[in-house]
């Protein structure tokens, strides 16, 4: 599947989970900025993957992709990005060829020419035969992703399957490893690579006839779909940051009516889109735990730029910059977000809030939560009834939801403007619960 199609599938799955399948074909197509015909082809492709991935679908359930993805509460513990990675398949010829290569290298270490002979001998006659350049490209890819390992020695180099970890561990150790990976992948960020490792371990244990209940002691229900889907771009951006390279992408802001646009490969059918082509130097990735969102902070012509990663499509790395320039821009960004609760670069302001202790209850969960989540803020006053927390932040917009989440246990002391805003918001919330009729 092409990278363009991968972006399209991600944006479709994002809308599917957010709307619970409430959109019809026309609405989905309009939101994606594609034709209904293209949308139908996308759904057909996803249905094929659903039927392949979930063998136990009930009859007729494959008719609705939205139902297929969520047909079982417990099976939906697999995050959607894992589903889309399965859908991002290679060409048929590549799939057969790579499978042959891996099977051959699992037996013994082989050279490039020996592997090419095996492919030419065992490959389906209907598929094109590979040349030496193709086999070398496959080996390079497999080595980069850590599937195979090149043995030490002189040319011609020999390659073998890189499965030392699994082979050296006992069954009991593999159970412990699977449990650890399962817990970490479902509770930490980023998670995608952990899910892929968990999948590999699960298949290995299944091949060894391990009972299902033994290798699945925990069940998770994941809710931050956007966070997982955004990890499709995460490692590309981290690699660009590590190599000090600029990136280019088509960006759709959260307020845009469309979230995707097909690549214009034919000038005769070129169309306008609501996205904006951006070329920028990525500097930092920030994750918002409260809303499950990823943000890219970068440097462009206008200075510091902030992007929601859910709006990034057609991402590509471009030219590299000097180490001096990258260090300079990185230092400038660090100074601007020094007091950012998340990514705000506004004017610093000191916030003071009074938190009320929960009576005789031990432990003091209010105080513990403030100390855990309060970042660089400090408790400047404390007695048996309450404590005062102080922090300097860039603006109050980002810290406000955190303060509001404490409900009646938190009172804003300063600044006065934030106090007034909170009073107005609580009055508005109170009005929602007013009875419609006074005699109810």
Whether 348-432 and 92-162 are alike in CATH topology: the answer is no
| Domain extents in the chain | 3-73, 92-162, 166-215, 225-262+272-336, 348-432
Q: Which fold has domain 348-432?
A: Alpha-Beta Plaits (3.30.70)
Task: For the domain covering 225-262+272-336, report its CATH number.
Answer: 2.30.30
User: Of the candidates 290, 288, 319, 326, which has an alpha carbon nearest to the alpha carbon of residue 306?
Assistant: 288
pLDDT per residue, tens digit, the chain (440 aa), is 334 457 888 888 788 777 766 788 888 888 888 888 888 888 777 776 666 555 444 444 444 555 555 444 444 455 656 666 655 555 566 777 888 888 889 888 999 999 999 988 888 888 888 889 999 988 988 888 788 999 988 888 999 988 887 888 888 888 889 889 988 888 888 888 888 888 888 888 877 766 655 556 777 766 677 788 888 889 899 999 999 999 999 998 888 777 777 665 554 444 555 678 899 999 999 999 888 889 999 998 778 899 999 899 889 999 999 999 999 999 999 999 999 999 999 899 999 999 999 877 778 899 999 999 999 999 999 998 999 999 999 999 999 999 999 999 999 999 999 999 999 999 998 888 877 655 55
Q: Which fold has domain 92-162?
A: Arc Repressor Mutant, subunit A (1.10.10)
How buried is 152 (Cβ within 10 angstroms: 0-12 exposed, 13-18 middle, 19+ buried)? exposed
């Amino acid at each position: 599947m092409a990278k363009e199609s991968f972006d399209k599938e991600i944006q479709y799955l994002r809308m599917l989970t957010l709307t619970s399948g409430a959109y019809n074909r026309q609405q989905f197509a309009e939101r994606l900025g594609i034709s209904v015909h293209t949308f139908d082809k996308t759904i057909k492709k996803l249905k094929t993957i659903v039927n392949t991935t979930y063998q136990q679908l009930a009859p007729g359930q494959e008719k609705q992709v939205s139902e297929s993805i969520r047909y079982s509460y417990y099976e939906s513990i697999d995050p959607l990005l894992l589903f889309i990675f399965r859908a991002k398949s290679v060409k048929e010829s590549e799939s057969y060829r790579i499978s042959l290569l891996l099977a051959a290298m699992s037996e013994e270490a082989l050279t490039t020419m020996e592997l090419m002979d095996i492919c030419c001998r065992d490959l389906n006659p209907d598929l094109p035969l590979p040349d030496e350049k193709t086999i070398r490209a496959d080996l390079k890819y497999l080595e980069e992703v850590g599937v195979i390992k090149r043995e030490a020695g002189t040319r011609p180099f020999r390659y073998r399957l890189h499965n030392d970890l699994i082979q050296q561990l006992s069954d009991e150790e593999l159970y412990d490893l699977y449990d650890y990976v399962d817990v970490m992948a479902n509770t930490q960020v980023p998670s995608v690579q952990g899910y892929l490792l968990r999948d590999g371990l699960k298949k290995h244990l299944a091949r060894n006839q391990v009972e299902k209940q033994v290798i699945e002691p925990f069940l998770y229900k994941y809710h931050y779909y956007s966070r997982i889907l955004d990890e499709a771009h995460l490692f590309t951006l981290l690699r660009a940051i590590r190599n000090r390279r600029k990136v280019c992408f088509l960006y759709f802001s959260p307020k845009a009516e469309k979230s995707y646009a097909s690549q214009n490969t034919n000038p005769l059918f070129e169309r306008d889109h609501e996205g904006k082509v951006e070329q920028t130097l990525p500097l930092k990735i920030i994750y918002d735990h409260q809303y499950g969102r990823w943000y890219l902070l970068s440097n462009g012509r206008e200075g510091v730029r902030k992007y929601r990663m859910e709006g990034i499509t057609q991402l590509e790395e471009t030219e590299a910059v000097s180490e001096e320039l990258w260090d300079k821009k990185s230092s400038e960004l660090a100074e601007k977000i020094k007091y950012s609760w998340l990514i705000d670069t506004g004017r610093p302001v000191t916030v003071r809030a009074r938190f009320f202790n929960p009576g005789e209850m031990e432990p003091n969960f209010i105080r513990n939560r403030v100390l855990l989540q309060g970042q660089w803020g400090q408790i400047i006053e404390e007695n048996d009834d309450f404590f005062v927390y102080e922090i300097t932040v860039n603006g109050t917009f980002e810290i406000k939801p955190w303060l509001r989440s404490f409900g009646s246990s938190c009172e804003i002391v300063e600044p006065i403007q934030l106090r007034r805003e909170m009073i107005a918001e609580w009055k508005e919330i109170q009005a929602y619960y007013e009875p419609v009729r006074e005699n109810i």
